[in-house]
Amino acid sequence: MEKYVINGGNKLYGSVKIQSAKNSVLPILAAAVLTDGEVCIKDVPDITDVGNMVRILTRLGCKAAFEGRDLIIDSSTADCFEIPGGLAHELRSSVFLLGSLISRFRMAKIAFPGGCDIGLRPVDLHLTGLKRLGVEIEEQNGYILCSCPKLKGNEIMLDCPSVGATENIMLAAVKAEGITVIKNAAREPEIEDLQKFLNAIGARVSGAGSGTVRVEGVKTLNGAVFSPIPDRIEAGTFLVAAAMCGGEVELDGVIAENISSLLHKLRENGCNIGIKNDKIYLESSKRLTAVKSIETQPYPGFPTDLQAQITALNSICKGQSIITENLFETRFKYVPELRKMGADITVVNRSAFVRGVEGFKGATVVAHDLRGGAALVLAALAADGRSEVLDISHIDRGYGAFDAKLRKLGGDITRVAV
């Protein structure tokens, strides 16, 4: 067990390199199971979710080894279609392997996946889509059992644009007979990145980034070298950190278009923002003004994974905000922790009513999930006095060297064993 000890009040200055996207890398690692060729994923982030996925791949019989931050995967030795409960419960993204395992082995067995406790994230959409491809599914004693002698392409209409279901169906359909068309597909940039990887290994996928994805089944797939897109959520987190603490921060290696909804809100707050090629510059030199209303939505709307961070920011802005969470029903679990630091927030159903205070006071708080935990770190950096953030294992799931990057910018943050 470890915690962060943070002495707040320092402004942030300097440049930070943004890691590859967690939410791209994980489904790409799942997709590596589809091919017998060697796959090299460049600049893989040093986060526990990646470590857990690599352990799962090894358990399936794949060979996986790091060369620096590049991950080399050889799935030619894969000989197992079961993901044990202990590993699945550690990693929500293990569910992506359903599509890959079915495609490769025509069989899959997986325990119901775990991850952050931010509300119900049912896999019903995944399973309904897989059934449309001919997969037979049973649920027994906490496991999902899938079998399919022959995968056959089909038209699949998703009830809602689920990222995970879209990606899982893509993975299952890659080697299916015929053509699969996914309608009302999620449009997140990470789905487009998965399409690019699949096509790099020989698949025929088109339409990712739009509401309709088309997959033409192929018989064989090859190896490839692939560089995932930068992590838009990490980028957004550092931008909000600079907005809260004040100072001047430049992000290096980022796609501004992918976080345009956040940039729009930060400009409303009063931040000065500049964009040039793959760099974003943010300057914050005064107390900012609250954004009146923010609602999380599927991409290209405001991302749920930045909701906690933007709420923390608006908690110390002039004025009032209403933050509405439309995707996950219990994603305000960090709010009582922010209140310990002096935030004035009332949660009613799916909305947080935020009344801006002059500033945060240092306190001991607990990270209950990945993004809420990151928001508490930002609040502590902006606070007056000393704070401790406990249970930082949640934060390690998605942010590599978080404390080191913040220290580079001038933050007083130390990782301490408990």
Residues known to be catalytic = 116
Residues pairing with 14 in the sheet: 249
Nearest to 328 by CA among 343, 348, 307: 307
Task: Tell me the C-alpha distance between 296 and 328, whole Å.
Answer: 9
390 φ/ψ angles, rounded to the nearest 5 degrees: -95, 165
Structure tokens at 180: 């699969």
Task: Tell me the C-alpha distance between 283 and 274, whole Å.
Answer: 9
Q: What is the DSSP letter of 37?
A: S
Structure tokens at 259: 């976080």
| Distance separating the N- and C-terminal Cα atoms of the chain | 6
Residues in the chain: 418
Angle between helices 124-132 and 97-105 (to 10 degrees): 30
335: helix, strand or coil: helix
- 1 burial (CB, 10 Å; 0-12 / 13-18 / 19+) is exposed
Residues pairing with 386 in the sheet: 7
Task: Tell me the C-alpha distance between 112 and 126, whole Å.
Answer: 12
Nearest to 155 by CA among 191, 192, 129, 177: 129
CB-based contact 390:360 (threshold 8 Å): no
Task: Tell me the C-alpha distance between 170 and 180, whole Å.
Answer: 8
Helix (H) or strand (E) holding 310: helix 307-314
Structure tokens at 404: 């080191």
